[in-house]
């Protein structure tokens, strides 16, 4: 059975976020490294002032360097400018970007969802935005257990016209 991907292009204004940084390999991420940092952030949500969307945890992913086996991931919450940064956390700024956005629902294969969104980007005449080091980000319900083997989230991939 072929799955139909429901995707759209959105424009997201620049934003500021506060949270925790993780760096590792794709294998370490698959083994649960990112889930640990998400769990730690969930335990410290009350420390983050000026939350814009307190029901959304963002997972921002950046390639450490081209052709790397690893990457940098930030588990963060969007915050208002000027809000404090709790001890051990950091602030990250994301510029205004256009994104290909799609939802990943429970019961779907994550790799397949990513394959379909990259295919959709190409079919629509867009290319990946290489002007930013942000490769993609995921939006999770903050109430979702990071160890859920069948998570539900939204994928956003920076794009631009060809």
- Give the pLDDT score at 1: 46
Distance in angstroms (rounded) separating the CA atoms of residues 96 and 98: 7
Structural domains of the chain, count: 1
Per-residue pLDDT, 2: 54
The confidence score (pLDDT) of residue 68 equals: 66
Specify the pairing of strand 15-25 against strand 90-94: antiparallel
Find the domain containing 69 and state its range: 7-159
Instruction: Put residue 113 in one of left, alpha, beta given phi > 0 → left and psi -120 to 50 → alpha.
Output: alpha
DSSP code for 41: H
pLDDT along the chain (162 residues), means of 10: 77 97 87 90 96 96 74 96 96 97 92 93 94 94 88 95 75
Alpha helices in the chain (DSSP H): 26-30, 33-43, 110-123
Quote the radius of gyration of the chain (alpha carbons, Å).
16
CATH number of the domain within which 85 lies: 3.20.80.10
Upper half-sphere CA count for residue 142 (Cβ side, 13 Å): 19
1, part of any domain: no
CA 116 vs CA 4, 108, 110, 119, 131: distances in Å: 9, 12, 10, 5, 23
- Is 2 part of any domain? no
- pTM given for the model: 0.91
DSSP 48: -
């Amino acid at each position: 059975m072929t799955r139909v991907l429901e995707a759209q292009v959105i424009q997201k204004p620049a934003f500021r976020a506060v949270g925790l940084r993780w760096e590792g390999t794709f294998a370490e991420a698959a083994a649960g490294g990112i889930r640990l940092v998400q769990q730690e952030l969930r335990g410290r949500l009350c420390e983050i002032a000026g939350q814009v969307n307190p029901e959304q945890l963002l997972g921002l992913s950046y390639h450490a360097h081209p052709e790397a086996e690893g990457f940098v991931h930030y588990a963060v919450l969007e915050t208002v400018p000027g809000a404090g940064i709790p001890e051990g956390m950091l602030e990250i700024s994301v510029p205004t970007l256009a994104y290909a956005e799609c939802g990943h629902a429970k019961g779907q294969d994550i790799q397949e969802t990513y394959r379909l969104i990259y295919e959709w980007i190409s079919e629509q005449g867009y290319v990946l935005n290489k002007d930013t080091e942000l490769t993609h980000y995921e939006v999770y319900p903050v109430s979702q257990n990071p160890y859920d083997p069948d998570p539900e989230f939204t994928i956003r991939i920076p794009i631009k016209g060809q």
